[in-house]
Amino acid sequence: MKAIDRNIEKISIYYFTGTGNSKNVASWISGIASKDGVDCRLFNIATIDRLNISNPDPDALIIFISPVHGFNYPPVMLHFIARFPKGRNRVVLMNTRAGMLIGKFVTPGVSGITFYLSSLFLKLKGYGIRALFPVNLPSNWISVHPGLNARTVRYIHKTERDRVYKFTRGILEGKSDFKALLELYDILLLPIAVLYYLVGRFMIAKTYYASSDCNKCGLCIKECPVKAIIKVDNRPFWTFRCESCMRCMGSCPKKAIETGHGFTIGFCVIFSMFLIGLFYKYFGLYIYKIENETVKSIVEPLIFLILLGGWYRIVHYFNKYRLFDRMVVYTSLTKYKFWGRRYKALTPENIDNIDD
């Protein structure tokens, strides 16, 4: 075995996790580092003070790990990095992105601008970037696509765990890794990443509902890493703070949390056909140069989010009636087995329980 880089005696890993993918990656790195006598400390940014961040150990290699949301780090991690104290440490940026499986080949997800923007923030603070490494763990975003079956999930976990082990060995041996920059198409996703940050994440936050199957255990409220779920009318209510990390869906013991696809589509249709027209008819004169496309590109998304918030509150209220609740549930793709497989990252024993 190659000699370990003795300059690395400490590692500090800061991670954000919803259903456990990033936490697993942090644990895999920690396990390898500990075997080599490296002091490795893990920090879940959901449980620490993100406004008054303590200065990192100046001798530690710093690793940031987070899922990709909307082709960037989710705002909670992005804001954490932006507020991170200045320093001279070496840094490794990692992400967990939507891996799929074709045969025995794990198809890579898409990182988008995840590494570009965060690297810029950190370089301006004085840090040196040592490596950029994406990990293609199973996507948990069943709001957007069907969930993966159990064997696929196990296979991807095992394959990507081996990649992380190899990568960690390389880092400890003093290597750098910037192969992620060869994915040049990532930078083309900048407009989508910006739209997600400004509008998309707020829209998606207002698609989650707790059906009448909810037993009011409060687990989703308690475990939400960004405290985005509150209780309204004695039922879970998703605020605009939601990061769509999917922990609530993955951990709900009753599988009572659904994505309201039907009612969300219904709102989009009503908004585009009627609501925005009514707004311009009665209030357009009060907005300077409303015909200007630049003004409209700002005003319309703002109106959309305000009205979506109102729509969501109305739907949430009427969900207390059984008939209305069933309409929401059965127009939600997450209700059906072919789509709505709930996801949690696997424990070590479950990862190894697979036939090669």
For residue 1, tell me if it sits in a domain. no
Last residue of a domain, one of 153, 172, 192: 192
Shared-domain flag, residues 65 and 111: yes
3-state helix, strand, coil in the chain (%, to 5): 45, 15, 40
Domain that holds residue 205: 197-335
Shared-domain flag, residues 211 and 294: yes
Q: Tokens for 122?
A: 């950190």
Shared-domain flag, residues 166 and 292: no
d(CA 169, CA 179): 16
Shared-domain flag, residues 224 and 139: no
Degrees to nearest 5, angle at CA 187 with 182 and 189: 130
For residue 101, tell me if it sits in a domain. yes
Task: Looking at the chain, list the stretches that DSSP marks H as alpha helix, in order from N- to C-terminal side.
Answer: 21-35, 75-83, 114-124, 150-172, 190-195, 201-205, 219-223, 247-251, 261-270, 276-283, 293-318, 322-330, 348-351
d(CA 10, CA 133): 19
For residue 355, tell me if it sits in a domain. no
Widest Cα–Cα separation across the chain: 74
What CATH number should be reported for the domain holding residue 117? 3.40.50.360
Total-model pTM: 0.92
Write out the DSSP string of 284-295. GGGSTTTTSHHH
For residue 341, tell me if it sits in a domain. no
Looking at residue 278, its pLDDT comes to 82
Shared-domain flag, residues 20 and 153: yes
The tally of domains found in the chain comes to 2
Shared-domain flag, residues 247 and 160: no
Tens-digit pLDDT string for the chain (356 aa): 344 445 799 999 999 999 999 999 999 999 999 999 999 999 999 999 999 999 999 999 999 999 999 999 999 999 999 999 999 999 999 999 999 999 989 999 999 999 999 999 999 999 999 999 999 999 999 999 999 999 999 999 999 999 999 999 999 999 999 999 999 999 999 999 999 999 999 999 999 999 999 999 999 999 999 999 999 999 999 999 999 999 999 999 999 999 999 999 999 999 988 888 887 777 665 555 555 666 677 888 999 999 999 999 999 999 999 999 999 999 999 999 999 999 999 988 778 765 54
Shared-domain flag, residues 175 and 202: no
For residue 109, tell me if it sits in a domain. yes
